[in-house]
Amino acid sequence: MSTGADALTDLDDEQLAAVVVALGGKRFQARQVAHWLWKHGVEDFDDMRNVPQRLRDALRQRHRLRNSRLRAADLAADGTEKLLIELPGETDAPDTVECVIIPDGERTTLCISTQVGCPVGCVFCASGMFGVRRNLTSGEIAEQVLVARARLPAGRRLTNLVVMGMGEPMLNLDALLPALRRIHDPDGINLGARRITVSTSGYPRQMERFSEADPSYNLAVSLHAADDELRRELVPTASHSVAEIVDAASRYFGRKGREVTYEVVLLRGRNDRRIDAQALVDRLRQTPCTVNLIPWNPVEEIVATRDLARPDDHRVDAFAALLRQGGLNVTVRRQRGADRSAACGQLRLREA
Ligand code: SAH
Ligand code: SF4
């Protein structure tokens, strides 16, 4: 089975230079190839116009340009567009992941995936329903930006990136970190690190490693509940306590100076009660942070089998008010693309 490791997008600058030099090219030509790949997003070797034909042919014989291709796109009435990306894999059942383009005024955010499926298995999430099939390679992670960028209308450009699609980013750091470097590289896609946010369900050791990355990205932590027992019901594989996770996030803030966002997916009657708000206030009052409330986006397949529901707006507002009274900064995520299976992992379920 091909894993996509022979695509040029999987190579960092040094590896690309080694490939080009081994094929008789010069180092500066590797730089040119990287430009065509990442800055211009070419999809054919012959579009690398200033690269000599001989080198283009030699590269083509040994490498693919990219791993993935767009298989389906689904545009919601509010402009949110969900892309289903096909990755190399078994031909009868190729692996797929999703990314989502979210236009919002001047801003255009792209949400990307890091794994095919997810091993964490949060009870409310479509991505975790069937476990994880495999990690994405660094090229596959970064290519989502190329595919999405090519779909933007003239005059629109990507302004923000969130790693909040399928998968647990901290469990694929080996591929994520080089992919983010590519996405950040001023000579390539050129997205500022302050505009890049990685969301995790809470892996302290990996968060520590993430904090060593240069440049400094934003960190979001999916907390969902401040009480350990309740959190374990929602995130059944969680092996770290809330205290350990919050400590790790605070260390991130200490090291990077970047305020952490805590995400709380709100489920009616499960974690949206008065005592749940109070527990969050008690736990987070001392840490500089923002709490982002995300009313659950119902997943048909989950609603059918588990007793979960989305709280109505006034319950969400009441919860937000309790957190604010307790001194926390709170934002509430507005529903985007709600008419088209907008929660992560849902388009893949439909197309599977
Ligand atoms: N695995 C990482 C990143 C991907 S999930 C994490 O869990 O943080 C990104 C965010 O989407 C998480 O906060 C997650 O809790 C939330 N999410 C997943 N399924 C959802 C759904 N059906 N409705 C609303 N939010 C959801
Ligand atoms: Fe995985 Fe995040 Fe979904 Fe949990 S919410 S199953 S960690 S993708």
- List pLDDT tens digits, range 197-240: 999 999 999 999 999 999 999 999 999 999 999 999 999 999 99
pLDDT in tens, 101-133: 999 899 999 999 999 999 999 999 999 999 999
CATH entry, 69-351, from 3.20.20.70, 3.40.50.10210, 3.30.420.40, 2.40.37.10 = 3.20.20.70
Please report how many Cα atoms fall inside a 13 Å half-sphere around the Cα of residue 76, on the Cβ side: 19
352 has pLDDT over 50: no
Q: Which two tokens stand for residue 201?
A: 């369900």
Q: How many residues does this entry show for the chain?
A: 352
Quick one: what percent of the chain has pLDDT higher than 90?
Answer: 87
Task: Please give the backbone phi and psi of residue 218, each rounded to the nearest 5 degrees, phi first.
Answer: -85, 150
**pLDDT score at 5:** 44
Q: Which atom of ligand 1 is nearest the CA belonging to 168?
A: 1
Q: Find the 344 Cα to ligand 1 centroid distance in Å.
A: 7
340 has pLDDT over 50: no
| Protein residue closest via CA to atom 21 of ligand 1 | 297
Assigned CATH topology for domain 8-62: DNA polymerase; domain 1 (1.10.150)
**pLDDT score at 348:** 54
Q: Give the number of other CB atoms < 10 A from CB of residue 76.
A: 17
63 has pLDDT over 90: yes
Question: From residue 334, how far is each of 78, 88, 105, 326, 331 by CA, in Å?
Answer: 12, 34, 13, 22, 9
Instruction: Look up tokens 């190729």; give the residue.
Output: 94
Closest-CA residue to 259 (of 318, 217, 228): 217
**165, 168, 171, 173 alpha-carbon torsion, rounded to 10°:** 30
335 has pLDDT over 70: no
Mean residue pLDDT of the chain comes to 92
Contacts (Cβ under 8 Å, ≥6 apart) of 86: 68, 69, 70, 71, 94, 95, 96
Which segment of 11-25, 36-50, 296-310 scores lowest on mean pLDDT?
A: 296-310
In angstroms, how far is the first alpha carbon of the chain from the final one? 20
- The response to whether residue 164 sits with its C-beta less than 6 Å from ligand 1 reads yes
Closest-CA residue to 94 (of 149, 41, 133, 42): 133
- Decide the pairing of beta strands 218-222 and 196-200: parallel
Q: Which two tokens stand for residue 322?
A: 């309790």
pLDDT in tens, 248-275: 999 999 999 999 999 999 999 999 999 9
Q: Which atom of ligand 1 is nearest the CA belonging to 221?
A: 8
**pLDDT score at 94:** 80
pTM of the model: 0.95
Q: Which residues have CB under 6 Å of ligand 2? A: 118, 120-122, 125, 127-128, 166-168, 201, 222
Quick one: what percent of the chain has pLDDT higher than 70?
Answer: 92
Domain ranges of the chain: 8-62, 69-351
Scored b (16 or more CB within 10 A) or e, 197-216 reads bbbbbbbbebbeebbebeeb
Q: Find the 224 Cα to ligand 1 centroid distance in Å.
A: 10
Active-site positions read 98, 344
pLDDT in tens, 269-301: 999 999 999 999 999 999 999 999 999 999 888
337 has pLDDT over 60: no
Give the mean pLDDT of 82-86: 95
Q: Find the 164 Cα to ligand 1 centroid distance in Å.
A: 7
295 neighbors 314 (Cβ within 8 angstroms):
no
